[in-house]
Amino acid sequence: MAFLPLIKAVLFAAIGFAVGAGATTGLRNLLGMEPWSTEPVVTMGYVFALIGWLLGVGLWDAWAREWFGKQPKEPLHEGWARFLRFSTDHKVIGVQYLVTMVVIMLLAGALSLLMRVELAAPGQTIMGASDFNTTMSLHGIMMIAVAVATVMGGFANFFVPLMIGAEDVAFPRINAMSYWIVPPVAVLLLATPLMGGFDTGWTAYPPLSVLNASGQLLFLLAFLTFGVSSILGGLNFLATIIMLRAPGMSWGRLPIFVWSIFSAALISLTATQSVALGLLTVILDRVAGTSFYNAAEGGNALLYEHVFWFYSHPAVYIMILPAFGIALEMLTHFSRKPLFAYKWVVASLLTVVGLSYIVWAHHLFTSGMGDYLHLPFMVTTELISIPTGMVFLSGLGTIWQGRLWLKTPMLFALGFLMNFVIGGVTGIFLADVPTDINLQDTYFVVAHFHYTIMGGEIFAILGALYYWFPKMSGRSYNEALGVVHFWWLFLSYNVTFISMFWVGILGMPRRVADYPANMADANLFVTVASFVLGASFLVFAGNLLYSWIKGPVASANPWKARTLEWQTSSPPPLENFPSEPTVVGSPYGYGVAGSVHARLAPAGGSKEQDGQS
């Protein structure tokens, strides 16, 4: 039975919930409190349900048995059923993440279209303010989850071990656990409307988030759980990259994608703890009656704002650094040229990591924090242009005089450069205090971050899905449809979101269901454009779904690329390579006579073979 582990997991979760909820009511009774109180009971019920879910889905069999002196069971490694259970194979986990995240992205995209319908005209069109707030908040947090986990969970899982010549990640079971934590997060978020929704946006600022409907609690628990998953993911990739590089894979030979994951993992490991604490304090205020955000008792909403952005600003680099890695990776292979200024790019990625911790208060320029903080945060924020600019120099230098092979992934990489520069420079408008005082909380900000996240990261992700599709599925996608998707998306995307800058300058506040009539035309225009944009995803979904099932079989290295993942079969075998590769040179030695990245000894034989095409 393919679904057995899932059924078991749901059952265990239900038992867990009953245990947690029962224990809480019992304890409350014992302490002389009103036994039933929804939020504390749901919170404890959820904690136990999560544990039950994880044990049921495979944590018990594959791991916890060991703690009781028993032999753990070997997970399934063959057949499609392995995707539905606790697999410790990084490639399976990578696919699990990618499929989950693409589905969530489409759902969240569909929510944004609902939102756009409501915004098409002033006054109420299809939903009231309450539903709008929930829709908007769900769209935001689901997309943020997609942006944080698609690359770190999906592509990094599948490709980092392959690219460094390892057989798996450092902690395969923790890896599986960080994936299986995600489905409960999705369930919680989708359940929020059942408990009154939540109307705080993805940032969940108290005191509103302490006072509103119980849907907020589910959101807080979901975000917190998701944080745990990201921390574990970050830990795993750091350990993997530090410890498991194949012989000869020195730091100077690491593909840039691996470096970008290394940088993002550093942030994910450390900064995430800060938001975890922020969310926890709000939960405590709700369920335990503490006073973190109760002004009458000395509580202070600014505490949350600082703690939240101390994570959430670095988090935007968890999103974009891997996108830089992906884009540069594709640019160099499809230009047939070495990566321009490799060492400088590596240094820049690490510089961004360092700076990312000291810029958070640029989200607080209008928050009422001390005025003396404006200048330093403006300065640190704008300094990030310098290392980011280096990434651009590398991209442009790489394509210059190259032999450009404009396949779909390459188009997306080039589109990334054009979109992200808009997102980046408009970031400067926001980092600049005088302009931000006006633009903060307007559609200018909305346009800025859709340019960085969607135009930047999502474009890179879509490019990567096409780029690595043959490797992951063993089949080729339809190139013509890929190109159609790119142009359709690129044009409709830019029309939609450029207009949002305009709407923002006109003075349209964000997170509103209704607005004064002077902005009606502009909003209608955006709504129409967003539907054209949404439709482009049908081409994408159709192409990849069909190709996954029926596409022509792909060769091991359709792009003639030099990195290690292309030197093994498509899809790779369980142990990744027939024998452990030995790295002897740069992955980007295009145009360098005699340059070889790695040698692989064929299984059983001793004859050496070039890792190159």
Partner 1 sequence: MLELLIVPWNLFPLAAAEEAAVVDNAFKLLMVLATPVFALVVVTVIYSMLRFRRRGEPTEDGPAIHGPRSVILAWLTVTTGLTILMIITPGITGLRELRAHASEAPDLLVQVQGGRWFWKVTYPEYGVSSTKELVLPVGKRARFEVSAMDVLHSFWIPAFRVKIDAVPGKITTTYATPDTLGSYDDDEHMRIQCAELCGLGHSVMRLSVRVVTEDEFKAWIAESTAK
Partner 2 sequence: MAFAARAPAPSHREERAHPHKSRLGINRLGLWLFLLSDSVFFGVLLSTRYYLQGVRTPEEVSQPLGLVLTSVLLLSSLTAYRAETSAVHGNQAGFRRNTLFTILLGALFIVGVGVEWALAFSHFPPDTGYGTVLFTTTGIHAFHVVTGLIALAVVFRLGKDGRYSKGNFWPAEGVVKYWHFVDVAWVFIYPTLYLVG
Return residues touching ligand HEA (CB under 6 A).
Answer: 105-107, 109-110, 112, 115-116, 136-137, 139-140, 143-144, 146-147, 201-203, 316, 319-320, 362-363, 381, 384-385, 388-389, 392, 421, 424-425, 427-428, 430-431, 436, 440, 445-446, 448-450, 452-454, 456-458, 510-512, 530, 533-534, 537-538
Q: Among residues 136 and 318, whose Cβ is nearest to Cu ion?
A: 318
Burial 9-37 (b: 16+ CB within 10 A, else e): bbebbeebbebbbeebbeebeeeeeeeee
Cross-strand bridge partners of residue 599: 582, 610
Query: Which among 270-278, 323-331, 375-383, 497-505 is the span making contact with partner 2, rule CB under 8 A?
Result: 270-278
Give the 3-state secondary structure of residue 68: coil
**With CB cut-offs between 5 and 8 Å by kind, which of Cu ion, ligand HEA, partner 1, none does residue 193 bind?**
none
Determine contact, residues 283/292, Cβ cutoff 8 Å.
no
Q: Among residues 513 and 598, whose Cβ is nearest to ligand HEA?
A: 513
Non-local CB neighbours of 138 within 8 Å, separated by 6+ positions:
108, 111, 189, 192
**With CB cut-offs between 5 and 8 Å by kind, which of Cu ion, ligand HEA, partner 1, none does residue 110 bind?**
ligand HEA
Query: Which among 185-193, 274-282, 417-425, 491-499 is the span making contact with partner 1, rule CB under 8 A?
Result: 417-425
Is 47 a residue that touches partner 2 (CB under 8 A)? no
Instruction: Give backbone dihedrals phi and psi of 610, rounded to 5 degrees, phi first.
Output: -70, 140
**With CB cut-offs between 5 and 8 Å by kind, which of ligand HEA, Cu ion, partner 1, none does residue 109 bind?**
ligand HEA
Non-local CB neighbours of 570 within 8 Å, separated by 6+ positions:
470, 471, 472, 473, 474, 554, 555, 556
The one-character DSSP state at 568 is S
Helices 342-356 + 301-335 axis angle, to 10: 170
Q: Which of residues 448-507 bind partner 1 (CB under 8 A)?
A: 505-507
Q: Among residues 290 and 555, whose Cβ is nearest to partner 2?
A: 290
Query: Which among 93-101, 162-170, 194-202, 320-328 is the span making contact with partner 1, rule CB under 8 A?
Result: 194-202
Is 448 a residue that touches Cu ion (CB under 5 A)? no
Query: Which among 4-12, 56-64, 374-382, 484-492 is the span making contact with partner 1, rule CB under 8 A?
Result: 374-382
Non-local CB neighbours of 207 within 8 Å, separated by 6+ positions:
293, 294, 295, 299, 301
**With CB cut-offs between 5 and 8 Å by kind, which of partner 2, partner 1, ligand HEA, none does residue 235 bind?**
partner 2
Considering only 270, 367, 476, 582, the residue that binds partner 1 (CB under 8 A) is 367
Determine contact, residues 56/10, Cβ cutoff 8 Å.
yes
The one-character DSSP state at 497 is H
Least distance between ligand HEA and beta carbon 2 (Å): 23
Is 223 a residue that touches partner 2 (CB under 8 A)? no
Helices 301-335 + 408-431 axis angle, to 10: 150
Is 578 a residue that touches partner 2 (CB under 8 A)? yes
Least distance between partner 2 and beta carbon 327 (Å): 28
> How far apart, in Å, do the first and last CA atoms of the chain sit?
42
Containing 583, the helix (H) or strand (E) segment is: strand 582-583
d(Cα 301, Cα 367) in Å, to the nearest integer? 10
Angstrom CA distances, 158 to 78, 220, 567, stand at 17, 29, 14
d(Cα 611, Cα 613) in Å, to the nearest integer? 7
Q: Among residues 445 and 533, whose Cβ is nearest to Cu ion?
A: 445
**With CB cut-offs between 5 and 8 Å by kind, which of Cu ion, ligand HEA, partner 2, none does residue 276 bind?**
partner 2
Least distance between ligand HEA and beta carbon 511 (Å): 4
Least distance between partner 2 and beta carbon 569 (Å): 14
Give the 3-state secondary structure of residue 600: strand
Number of residues near partner 1 (by CB under 8 A): 89
Q: Which of residues 275-304 bind partner 2 (CB under 8 A)?
A: 276-277, 280-281, 284, 288-292, 294, 297-300, 303
Q: Among residues 295 and 386, whose Cβ is nearest to partner 2?
A: 295
Least distance between partner 2 and beta carbon 68 (Å): 8
- Show the tokens assigned to 322: 């891997």
Number of residues near partner 2 (by CB under 8 A): 60
Residue 18, amino acid: A
**With CB cut-offs between 5 and 8 Å by kind, which of Cu ion, partner 2, ligand HEA, none does residue 523 bind?**
none
Considering only 589, 596, 601, 610, the residue that binds partner 1 (CB under 8 A) is 589
Least distance between Cu ion and beta carbon 88 (Å): 36
The one-character DSSP state at 151 is I
Is 531 a residue that touches partner 1 (CB under 8 A)? no
Non-local CB neighbours of 62 within 8 Å, separated by 6+ positions:
72, 73, 75, 86, 88, 173, 176
Q: Which of residues 340-369 bind Cu ion (CB under 5 A)?
A: none
- Show the tokens assigned to 596: 């070889």
Exposed, middle or buried, 457 (CB in 10 Å: 0-12/13-18/19+)?
Answer: buried
What does DSSP say about strands 609-610 and 582-583: parallel, antiparallel, or unpaired? unpaired
Angstrom CA distances, 336 to 341, 400, 542, 559, 596, stand at 15, 11, 30, 10, 14
**With CB cut-offs between 5 and 8 Å by kind, which of ligand HEA, partner 2, partner 1, none does residue 452 bind?**
ligand HEA
Least distance between ligand HEA and beta carbon 138 (Å): 9
d(Cα 476, Cα 467) in Å, to the nearest integer? 10
- Show the tokens assigned to 97: 């993440």
**With CB cut-offs between 5 and 8 Å by kind, which of partner 1, Cu ion, ligand HEA, none does residue 404 bind?**
partner 1
Q: What is the contact surface with Cu ion in residues (CB under 5 A)?
A: 313
Q: What is the contact surface with partner 2 in residues (CB under 8 A)?
A: 62, 67-69, 72-75, 88-89, 166-174, 231, 234-235, 238-239, 242-244, 269-274, 276-277, 280-281, 284, 288-292, 294, 297-300, 303, 306-307, 310, 575, 577-580, 601, 603-604
